Chains A and B, each alone.
Chain A
Amino acid sequence: MNCESVREFMSAYFDQELTPDQEAAMREHLEDCPDCAQQLAEFAELSSLAAEMRPPQVPAGMWSSINASLNAQKHEGVPTDLPWRRLSRIALAATLLVAASTALIVYWNRQHADEHHEMVEVFGQYLDRFQQRPEDAQEVLLARYQGRLVAPQHAADEAKFNPNAPDQLPQGFVREGIYVLKMPCCTCTQTIYRDSHGNVLALFEHTEQQRSWFGDRPTITAQCHGKSTCLVQLRDELAACWKSGTRHLTIVGARGVEQVSELVAFLDVQQQSLQGARGARDGLSAIPPRSAAKGDRSRRRTQMDCGGRCTIHVRTGSTPQAVC
């Protein structure tokens, strides 16, 4: 045996808890190893010290006190008969059931809260980096949500829905790539667009409303192209989210409300075309578009309703000021 294994069994040897063979092996080592023998001597000394400890005196009247408490329990009606025990088991079972349900709900809520908190944090980092270096921001999302670049023809298979990701967007933005992100809420697609000046727009499509992505950033609700749109003030740019058909779209990197309004109109037409194509493919009649993109320019100078609490004026070329 080496020192390490001897020390592992030192207490067991000292307390005579080893088999005769183990004990003999230990003894053999201890005879030749002063260091291990020293530890054994220390254990023995400690044991002597513990043995010298005087037993404490139980305070006088202890039984009387316990007896009195037992009598009090009896008088207070702590029952001891079998029906009570049966009832107590039923009560216990009911309590456990309620406790388990509560624990499950609490766990689910906590899990949900954790996921929510985590998404706010990750998106906070994404939005902070987006304006400086969109490529760095993209790394944050891809790393956290197992993001993968997918070919446009495979995007629908990967995402399990046909994403609204046209080749081009108004104002000269050209599609660079489509990513699929596995987020806690849903599988989400993200399409990156870039214009000739290097400006980047990110378009997210998801199944659930995701205002929580923006944390406590200044937010207003406005009517863009007749759609209730949530506008979020980033440092110099805007993010916006709105519902399009059965899906929710979010855009990050818009340079003003006009651009948002134009994008909402454009993508709405695209979405309705997609749904129409899907309906036609499925043998259903195409749903006619509710509005045309070209009509939205008249809305550039308009009043926007800020959640019913205030009214703000948005002028062409400016970003909304959430002064309510």
Chain B
Amino acid sequence: MRVIKLQEPRRNVPPSASNLMEAQLITPERLSDPMEDIVAGCKRRDRQAQRLLYERCHERLFRLIEHMVGRQEAPDLLQQVFLQTFLKIGQFSGHARFETWVYRLAINECLQFRRRRSRAHYDMPADEPIDPSRDHTERTQQQELMDRALGLLAPDLRAIFVLREVEGLSYREIAETLQTKEGTVGSRLNQARTRLRKHLVELGWKPES
């Protein structure tokens, strides 16, 4: 049986019975628990359930957050989003999919963050430094271009593009996440795609078409 072991050292946390419980192994069976059970556990503040929720969602949420606020700020925002998720999960009624609920929470946190930063003339991620740890093949250069072009899009258009193209949400799920009408998703995507392409070309992208 394959196990995932918690290897990260705990920081500033005194050892306690609950910590020892958390250090127990998480089995693959538990990782495939139905989402409703995990959410119900999180509502009871069960740390194991919280950990399972983290394992289920953190990669997708980090990808979304990175596209929304940039590479530098994404880790802090991810942590903030999970803390808010665990704090507010009692408000999740179960009428919508949990994924759209948590995406909405993440996008709202990102927009709030951007609003706070915009007061301090925060401009990102178009101005982010190029990641030196990446090898600059043609593919990574295109990725950098995409990052920068996305950063030039208005936050709402960026969110809708990422939810569709990166996260693969349907129009109904996007409407549910952004709390908008399903009928407007297509036209907003038209705008997002047209403007993104324009920004890419302005930044030096050479389209084949």
State yes or no: do A and B come from one complex.
yes
Residues of A that sit less than 8 Å from B by CB: 7-12, 15, 17, 38, 41-47, 49-56, 58-73, 78, 80, 85
B12 at the interface (CB under 8 A from A): yes
- For the complex, is B101 an interface residue (Cβ under 8 Å from A)? no
The listed residue (B59, B66, B186) touching A17 by CB distance below 8 A is B186
Q: Could you give, for residues 1-14 of chain B, a 1 whenever the CB lies within 8 Å of some chain A CB and a 0 otherwise? A: 00000101111110
Q: Closest CB of chain B to A40's CB: distance in Å?
A: 9
How distant is the Cα of A66 from the Cα of B87 in the complex, in angstroms?
Answer: 12
Q: Give A78 to B88 CA distance when docked, in angstroms.
A: 13
Docked complex: B1-43 residues within 8 A CB-CB of A: 6, 8-13, 16, 18-19, 22
Measured CB to CB, the nearest residue on chain A to B23 is A67
**Known contacts being A42-B209, A45-B209, is A64 close to B9, with CB within 8 Å?**
yes
B100 within 8 A of A: no
In this assembly, does B164 line the interface, its C-beta being within 8 Å of a C-beta of chain A? yes
Q: Are A8 and B166 in contact (CB under 8 A)?
A: no
Q: Decide yes or no: A72 and B12 within 8 Å by CB, A11-B193, A53-B146 being known contacts.
A: yes
Q: Which of B22, B186, B207, B208 contacts A67 (CB 8 A)?
A: B22
Could you jot down 14 A-B contacts, CB within 8 Å? A15-B189, A38-B209, A42-B209, A49-B200, A50-B146, A50-B161, A50-B165, A54-B140, A58-B58, A63-B51, A65-B79, A67-B47, A67-B51, A69-B83
Q: Are B22 and A58 in contact (CB under 8 A)?
A: no
Q: Apart from A42-B197, A45-B209, what 16 extra A-B contacts exist at CB < 8 Å?
A: A8-B187, A11-B187, A11-B193, A17-B170, A46-B193, A46-B197, A49-B200, A53-B166, A58-B58, A60-B8, A63-B8, A68-B10, A69-B79, A69-B83, A70-B83, A72-B12
Number of A-B contacts defined by CB within 8 Å: 114
Q: Which residues of B contact A7 (CB under 8 A)?
A: 190
Docked complex Cα distance between A249 and B207 (Å): 75
Q: Which residues of A contact B75 (CB under 8 A)?
A: 58-59, 62
Verify A62–B63 contact, CB threshold 8 A.
no
B186 touches A70 (CB 8 A): no
Contact A12 B186 (CB under 8 A): yes
A61 to B11, CA, bound (A): 10
Given A53-B146, A58-B59, residue A66 in contact with residue B209 (CB < 8 A): no
Asked whether B92 is an interface residue with its Cβ less than 8 Å from the other chain, the reply is no
Q: Which residue of A lies closest to B139 (CB)?
A: A52
Asked if B71 is an interface residue, CB under 8 A from chain A, the answer is yes
In the complex formed, the residue of B with least CB distance to A63 is B54
How far is the CB of A10 from the nearest CB of chain B, in Å? 6
User: How far is B27's CA from A183's CA once the two chains are assembled, in angstroms?
Assistant: 75
In the complex, what residue of chain A is closest to B172 when comparing beta carbons? A17
Are A54 and B143 touching (Cβ within 8 A)?
yes
Is residue B98 contacting chain A, with contact meaning CB distance below 8 A? no
Minimum CB–CB distance from A182 to chain B (whole Å) comes to: 40
Q: Which of B19, B90, B186 has the most CB of A within 10 A?
A: B186
Contact of B82 among A45, A64, A66 (CB under 8 A): A66
B177 within 8 A of A: no
Residues in B with CB closer than 8 Å to A64 are 6, 8-11
> Given that A47-B165, A65-B11, A70-B86 are known contacts, is A12 also in contact with B62, CB under 8 Å in the complex?
no
In the assembly, what is the distance between CA of A64 and CA of B83, in Å?
A: 12
**Chain A residues, Cβ within 8 Å of B166:** 50, 53
Inter-chain contact B186/A11, CB cutoff 8 Å: yes
Say yes or no: is B196 at the interface (Cβ < 8 Å to chain A): yes
Distance (Å) between the CB of B8 and the closest chain A CB? Answer: 4
Would you list which residues of chain B between 59 and 89 have a CB under 8 Å from chain A? 59, 62-63, 66, 71, 74-75, 78-79, 82-83, 86-87
The smallest C-beta distance from A69 to any residue of chain B, in angstroms, reads 6
Residues of A within 8 A of B193 (CB): 11, 42-43, 46
Q: Looking at the assembled complex, report how far the CB atom of B88 sits from the nearest CB atom of chain A, in whole angstroms.
A: 12
Tell whether A61 pairs with B8 under 8 Å between CB atoms, given A56-B62, A69-B79, A71-B19: yes
Query: Cβ of B161: which chain A residues have Cβ within 8 Å of it?
Result: 50
B45 within 8 A of A: yes
